[in-house]
Structure 1
């Protein structure tokens, strides 16, 4: 849960680097929260069939949109890539696959142009 809160505390910070563990723990907890909220939406009739979204899960998704993007940018920085690589998400399939691969890759060793390696501080 600390990794999730750490990502939220850096709400709009795009500078620096984020470890793989920080990124994937945020993704996992975010997924779990979203699944629970979607179930609550279904059980309380807050799900809109025409819009295919629930009220609670929709509001939550909007709340974590900016932290998710900034975390991915910091993750790209950790592998030595510019945050502009995030624009690959605009390519329907191949862009998402490439960002997934970049998120899996290990940190670039030592400091890079985006800051010191966050693994060295643990």
Structure 2
């Protein structure tokens, strides 16, 4: 039951407040930026946790307050960035590409 249809997918969205909305009724609009495929299946929760430890350390913590995500049980991760953080989208893409192989998790500190 492992196949491309069971891989986690990250939807990257930009969030922007709607101008003219009252602070107590603040409404936001979302712009879809990308869909990224992560290197593990929905049932591989340990790999997900390990991958997200690195993602948090390198992407989320340095941008705290401007980034949030929700992970669903069906393999969708919704990543929401503040609109003014749009340049971060390319860093997220690069991170996913660099950490897109299962072997990266095991051999990250290994020597060639």
TM-score (norm 1): 0.27
Structure with the larger strand share: 2
Higher helix share: 1
TM-score (norm 2): 0.28
